Structure 1
Amino acid sequence: MTVSEAAKYLFVSRPHIRKLLAAGKLMEVLPRDPSGSINIDVVSVEAYRTEMDVAMRAYLDAQAGDNDPLGL
């Protein structure tokens, strides 16, 4: 998967994909192709998306469970 494809799939920018690669959250497929393009491991992209989906659901569940009345 290319950087552009991963960015589209995860709904983030290409620079963000490069930051995720640098942080080790996404894995690059080595060796690079002869053109020098970065290829990203599809399994790591799927794992990252799943992790973000779980975090988003946990956040939304925490917000929905708040039964406190609105203060003025």
Structure 2
Amino acid sequence: MTVAEAAQYLFVSRAHVRKLLAAGALAEVLPRNPAGSINIDVVSVEAYRTERDAAIRAYLDSQTDDSNPLGL
């Protein structure tokens, strides 16, 4: 998967994908192709998206009226 494809799949910018690669959140497939472009491991992209979606769901679930009663 290319940087552009990963960015489109994750709904982020290509620069953000490069930051995720640098931080180790996504794994690069080595060696690079002869053109020197970066290929990203599809499994790491899918795992990152799954973790991010779970974190978003957990946050949204915590924002119910039960956790913030009226009058407080």
Q: How high is the TM-score relative to the length of structure 1?
A: 0.92
Q: Relative to 1, partners in 2 of residues 1:38 and 1:67: Cα closer, same or farther, differing over 3 Å?
A: same
Instruction: State the one-letter code of the partner of 2:25.
Output: K
Give unmatched runs, 5+ long, in structure 2. Answer: none
Deviation at 1:66, TM superposition (A): 2.6
Mapping for residues 3-18 of structure 1, pairs under 5 Å: 3-18=3-18
> What RMSD, in angstroms, separates the aligned Cα atoms of the two structures?
1.3
Q: In structure 2, what is the Cα distance between the partners aligned to 1:11 and 1:68?
A: 34
Question: Which residue does the alignment assign to 2:70?
Answer: 69
Deviation at 1:67, TM superposition (A): 4.3
Instruction: State the one-letter code of the partner of 2:70.
Output: P
Mapping for residues 8-47 of structure 1, pairs under 5 Å: 8-47=8-47
Identity of aligned residues (%): 73
Q: In structure 2, what is the Cα distance between the partners aligned to 1:28 and 1:67?
A: 42
Deviation at 1:70, TM superposition (A): 6.0
